[in-house]
Amino acid sequence: MWRETDTSLPWSCLCMLPPWIESWWEVFGGRKDLHFFTSRVGDAPVGIAPLQIDGCTAGLIGDADVCDYLDFIVQPDAALPFFDALIQHLRRIGIKEMDLHAQRPDSAFMRVLSKDASRLDCEAKCEVEDETYELELPDNWDAYLATLRGKDRHEIRRKVRRLCEAGRVSTRIVSDFNEVDRTLPLFMKLFKDNRSDKAAFMTDRMTAYFRLLAQATSREGFMKLLLVELDSDTAAAAMFFDYRGTRYLYNNGYAQRYQSLSVGHLSKVYSIRDGLNAGMQRYDFLKGRESYKRRLGGRPVPVYRCRISL
């Protein structure tokens, strides 16, 4: 259903696409109960709530550590009756609370239920739990550079020039499923070699998740790796997802021997440039308050955690 361009459901949230939540659930979902609620008008679905249930608490499938945004899949003009039906259903099965992480301001919940919770006889409390950074992409590279502060624009040009002086620089996009599968171990090595905290994060379980996610999403055609090569040696790599005109930067890594050449930072710069050339309209750095996101033109967007007492 989600692949069909004429479906009435807005599959707009990257981390709620079936390949994503199936990968997450296979690795992390074993301790909770899987529960799908679907609302229909006639034979047509107007809303889906992919839930995980822990005791008397329900949340969306996924977690804020590796799923930057979570949302319900619901037709905009049916959102209020959908949430009404969902809440009544959850009450009938003994759920006392919904705990929703990673809610963007434009999520279905934030647009509808956070404002109308009292109309459905429940209480919603939301607080900012993180920030995401995104930028609208102009038509070309020069126009993008012109949007940056002079200092940041100069810094990009200086770093690009210094890298090019060190050898022959090339970038390569890996998107074919088989090639992604072959290249992923290299990406994982670069990721873990960056910093001790990254190595600690990439446990065996997390490695299995990244592998499943990369396989599932590259098979569907929207996961890609960008490799930065210096004299044919891979210096850095960035993992991202292209979906509905937005490029989402998920993670990156670089070889320590090239750290002085800022290849990690430039892998993000080159992914922005490639996104422009690929016709992307928006670049999403995803969650986290790292300063480079502002320096590359990102604008902050709050991400909320909401608790709904039923």
Q: Is residue 2 part of a domain?
A: no
Shared domain for 27 and 80, answered yes or no, is yes
Shared domain for 68 and 118, answered yes or no, is yes
Rounded to 5°, angle at Cα 20 from 17 and 22: 105
Q: Is residue 65 part of a domain?
A: yes
Shared domain for 101 and 203, answered yes or no, is no
197-203, long-range: CB within 8 Å, 24+ apart, which pairs?
198/253
| Residue 8 pLDDT > 90 | no
| Residue 141 pLDDT > 90 | yes
Mean pLDDT of 156-163: 97
Look at the alpha carbons of 79, 18, 283, 67 in this order and tell me if their dihedral is positive or negative.
positive
Alpha-carbon distances of 73 from 50, 83, 256, rounded to whole Å: 8, 11, 41
Q: Is residue 258 part of a domain?
A: yes
Q: Is residue 171 part of a domain?
A: yes
Predicted local distance difference test score (pLDDT) of residue 4:
57
Residue type, 5: T
Shared domain for 100 and 150, answered yes or no, is no
Shared domain for 208 and 100, answered yes or no, is no
Structural domain including 29 reads 14-131+302-309
Residue 5's pLDDT band, with cuts at 50, 70 and 90, is: low
187-194, long-range: CB within 8 Å, 24+ apart, which pairs?
187/225, 187/237, 187/239, 187/253, 188/253, 189/253, 190/234, 190/236, 190/237, 190/253, 190/254, 190/255, 191/251, 191/252, 191/253, 192/253, 193/253, 193/254, 193/255, 193/256, 194/253, 194/254, 194/256, 194/264
Do 304 and 127 meet the contact criterion of CB atoms below 8 Å apart?
Answer: yes
| Residue 115 pLDDT > 80 | no
For position 268, which CATH number holds? 3.40.630.30
Shared domain for 50 and 155, answered yes or no, is no
For residue 268, how far is the Cα from the chain centroid? Answer: 15
Q: Is residue 293 part of a domain?
A: no
Shared domain for 107 and 183, answered yes or no, is no
CA distance 74 to 84: 12
Mean pLDDT of 133-152: 96
Alpha-carbon distances of 113 from 57, 130, 212, 299, rounded to whole Å: 17, 20, 33, 26
Shared domain for 69 and 160, answered yes or no, is no
For position 74, which CATH number holds? 3.40.630
Stated pTM of the model: 0.95
Shared domain for 144 and 273, answered yes or no, is yes
Q: How many domains does the chain have?
A: 2
Shared domain for 46 and 146, answered yes or no, is no
Each residue's pLDDT tens digit, 222-250:
999 999 999 999 999 999 999 999 999 99
Each residue's pLDDT tens digit, 57-96:
999 999 999 999 999 999 988 998 999 999 999 999 999 9
